């Protein structure tokens, strides 16, 4: 094992330690998080687009690879039990907050359905961003690295971690905006899981699609232009497939602080939805992705896989 391989292994040890979030991410909750919280619901969303309970998806390590520029993020085939899972919420909040997109879907409007999926995706994106800028090395990681590779390699890795903020300065501003958005979400979503009037703080657009049994994709992002933020808070774009309880939908969820931008985005989508999806909701930029394996295999040879969702009439 050469020095490069050793450092890569240490990065893996550190990244997965950080990803193994131990505390529920709902504000002021001290409960332990569960480690198999699905961002995309297993028995409805993932099941509906799977082949033999398999989908193509990103692993969390894809974002680690992208951060350290080791390889491009890659879609991998996974059983739906293990697809789009993360340590996000305790069992109480996971069950209660998302009941209306899991057990009682028929009771949720399209807007509420989109709102709850946007919150879940938002929390995952926020966790990844915090991992990317954190310079704290846990004692667990320090102990593992020292035991496995010794002080020399631990010091190399420590210096590498200390440089992370210089490489990702823009994330610091992003995180402050994510924090404000989290407060807004959790002013609407009560501790007991009940959802108040989300129209007070959020703007939601939904559009039912003809058919979609091929993919689910969600992108939570701060819009930027020329290294300046266009959006005050994160905006979430998503496409969810049809299932036994819901028609397929496209959605946009934004803060009311971005009212003009939201209206412009909706107008752009209505004017040319293909170009819109090409730009705001493609595989290259989206955090949460699950694709039907047969559909994925048919698209692998396309020149630009990152923008595959536009090459049939599914999303018209």
pLDDT digits (tens, 9 = 90+) for 159-187: 777 766 554 555 677 888 999 999 999 99
Segment 7-16, tens digit of pLDDT: 777 776 777 6
In this prediction, residue 55 has a pLDDT band, given cuts at 50, 70 and 90, of: very high
204, two tokens: 């939601």
List, as own/partner pairs, every contact residues 103-107 make where C-beta atoms lie below 8 angstroms and the sequence separation is at least 24, other chains included. Answer: 105/44, 105/243, 105/245, 105/246, 106/245
Residue 33 is classified by DSSP as P
pLDDT at 235 over 60: yes
List the helix and strand counts (H, then E) for the chain: 12, 11
Match 């450092």 to its residue by tokens: 7
Beta-strand runs (E) in the chain: 37-38, 54-58, 75-79, 85-86, 202-208, 215-221, 224-225, 228-229, 235-240, 249-255, 288-291
* Residue 276 CB contacts under 8 Å (≥ 6 apart), including other chains: 265, 268, 269
Burial 79-103 (b: 16+ CB within 10 A, else e): ebeebbbbbbbbebbbebbbbbbbe
Residue 189 is classified by DSSP as B
Residue 68 is predicted with a pLDDT of: 44
What's the burial of 270, exposed, middle or buried (CB within 10 Å: 0-12/13-18/19+)?
exposed
- The pTM of this model reads 0.84
pLDDT at 52 over 90: yes
pLDDT at 92 over 90: yes
Which of 229-233, 249-253, 279-283 is least confident? Answer: 279-283
Residue 70 is predicted with a pLDDT of: 41
pLDDT at 263 over 60: yes
Residue 165 is predicted with a pLDDT of: 58
pLDDT at 65 over 50: no
pLDDT at 312 over 80: no
Match 């893996």 to its residue by tokens: 12
Q: What is the mean pLDDT of residues 198-221?
A: 92
Which of 101-115, 131-145, 168-182, 189-203 is least confident? Answer: 131-145
Return the higher-pLDDT residue of 42 and 312: 42
Q: Alpha carbon 11 to chain centroid distance?
A: 21
Segment 293-309, tens digit of pLDDT: 988 887 766 555 555 55
């Amino acid at each position: 094992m050469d020095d490069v391989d050793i450092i890569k292994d240490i990065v893996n040890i550190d990244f997965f330690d950080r990803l193994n979030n131990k505390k529920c991410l709902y504000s002021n909750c001290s409960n332990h998080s569960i480690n198999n919280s699905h961002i995309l619901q297993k028995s409805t969303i993932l099941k509906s687009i799977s082949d033999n309970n398999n989908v193509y998806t990103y692993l969390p390590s894809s974002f680690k690879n992208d951060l350290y520029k080791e390889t491009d993020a890659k879609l991998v085939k996974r059983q739906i039990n293990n697809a789009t899972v993360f340590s996000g919420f305790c069992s109480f909040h996971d069950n209660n907050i998302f009941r209306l997109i899991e057990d009682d879907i028929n009771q949720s409007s399209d807007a509420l359905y989109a709102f709850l999926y946007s919150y879940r995706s938002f929390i995952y994106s926020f966790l990844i961003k915090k991992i990317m800028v954190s310079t704290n090395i846990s004692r667990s990681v320090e102990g593992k690295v020292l035991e496995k590779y010794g002080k020399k390699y631990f010091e190399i890795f420590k210096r590498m971690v200390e440089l992370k903020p210089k490489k990702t300065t823009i994330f610091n501003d992003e995180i402050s905006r994510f924090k404000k958005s989290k407060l807004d979400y959790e002013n609407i979503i009560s501790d007991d899981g009940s959802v108040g009037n989300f129209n007070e703080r959020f703007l939601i657009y939904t559009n039912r699609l003809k058919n979609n049994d091929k993919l689910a994709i969600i992108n939570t992002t701060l819009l930027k232009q020329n290294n300046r933020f266009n959006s005050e808070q994160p905006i979430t774009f998503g496409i969810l497939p049809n299932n036994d309880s819901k028609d397929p939908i496209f959605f946009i969820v934004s803060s009311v602080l971005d009212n003009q931008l939201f209206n412009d985005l909706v107008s752009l989508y209505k004017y040319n939805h293909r170009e819109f999806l090409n730009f705001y909701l493609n595989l290259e930029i989206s955090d949460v992705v699950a694709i039907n394996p047969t559909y994925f295999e048919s698209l692998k040879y396309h020149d630009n896989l990152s923008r595959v969702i536009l090459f049939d009439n599914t999303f018209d």
